[in-house]
Amino acid sequence: MSSAVRDIAVIGNVNLDVLVSPASEIPAPGVEQLVDAAGIRPGGAAANTALALAALGAPPRLAGCVGDDAVGRLLVDGLTRAGIAHDVVVVPGTPTGVSVALETPERDRSFLTALGSLAAFDRSMIAPEVLSADLVLLCGYFLLPSLQGPAAREVLGEVRSHGGTALFDCGWDPGGWSPSSREGVLELLPLVDVFLPNDAEAAELTGVADPLEAARALTAISGGRTVVKLGAGGCLAVAPDGVELAVPAPRVDALDTTGAGDAFNAGLLFALARGDGWPDALGLATRVASTAVSRPSTDRYPGVGDLV
């Protein structure tokens, strides 16, 4: 373990999450359906990751934006209490982005998202201090239309120009993974040191169903490391030198899986920042994600002493 703790920054989507459970389907027109629970919390991949890092004791710089409405003020208040709101920009004249997560034990969660202020987030809203951090994660890519393509290349390139490690989690493409969408992500990978897809995203990007083979293909394109998140199956990683690692996840009773991949990213960033080697870092990341999904939505993110 290194004696020096490295700085962390997270760039991406900050929005309100509305969690509805169980919601196996949208009711027919004119029909009202009761659910067991509905709640709200600060969300979006970037905010989720930053909040999880803050709970671990390593609050990062968080670059994102909200609208100038009551929802945006609610989010900024929550992020301020966690010590991570100072780089979040308020966009005048726009509503804050909102994502409705439909959760049920019978299938993977699904989302309905209104971009709002997310559509306006661009390179100009990212402070220089964010891009000069030692470890920088860009996430929520497909929900940030003004930060795609050349803008994302500029951000990742600047991180590397400062000697930082660039991490990238593109997330799921709500547009359906068109050829141009896949090509856009793959063109960014040579600027990425650590790529963090889940197994479904890796399969869509490569056309390869097997997660390990997909990870190998992505590493061959990027020249960096690929970490594929497997949910309850843990994760696997392929390094450019050919070293491959597989880490199982602890068995837990999942209460809320929304943001599990973001909690994983937070655990990985936390471990790398304190100097852990890759086997230990992946192990800690899976423990953070597993612990997060086993906790209620009202007490989401674990401290180091809470990990399973």
The pTM of this model reads 0.93
Asked whether residue 76 is domain-assigned, the answer is yes
Kindly state the average pLDDT of the residues 218-222.
98
Asked whether residue 167 is domain-assigned, the answer is yes
pLDDT, one tens digit per residue, over 47-87 is: 999 999 999 999 999 999 999 999 999 999 999 999 998 89
- Buried-exposed string 45-78: b where 16+ CB fall within 10 A, e elsewhere: bbbbbbbbbbbbebbbbbbbbbbebebbebbbeb
**pLDDT at residue 2 tops 60:** no
User: How many percent of the chain have pLDDT more than 90?
Assistant: 82
Question: Any residues with CB less than 8 A from the CB of 111 and at least 6 apart, and which?
Answer: 99, 100, 101, 102
> How far, rounded to the nearest angstrom, does the alpha carbon of residue 201 sit from its chain's CA centroid?
13
Domain count, the chain: 1
**pLDDT at residue 41 tops 90:** no
> How far, rounded to the nearest angstrom, does the alpha carbon of residue 304 sit from its chain's CA centroid?
19
**Chain position carrying tokens 């909690």:** 263
Asked whether residue 30 is domain-assigned, the answer is no
DSSP 19-37: EEES-SSPPPTT-----SE
**pLDDT at residue 1 tops 50:** no
> Looking at residue 249, what is its pLDDT?
95
**pLDDT at residue 102 tops 50:** yes
**pLDDT at residue 107 tops 70:** no
Asked whether residue 175 is domain-assigned, the answer is yes
Domain of 109? Answer: 8-25+36-302
With contact defined as beta carbons under 8 Å apart, do 219 and 230 qualify? Answer: no
Task: State the average pLDDT for the chain.
Answer: 94
Handedness of CA 278, 228, 308, 251 (dihedral sign): negative
| Residues of the chain by 3-state class (helix, strand, coil), percent to 5 | 40, 25, 35
pLDDT, one tens digit per residue, over 120-157 is: 999 999 999 999 999 999 999 999 999 999 999 999 99
- The CATH number of the domain where 200 resides is what? 3.40.1190.20
Asked whether residue 264 is domain-assigned, the answer is yes
Handedness of CA 18, 24, 29, 34 (dihedral sign): negative
pLDDT, one tens digit per residue, over 248-266 is: 999 999 887 888 999 999 9
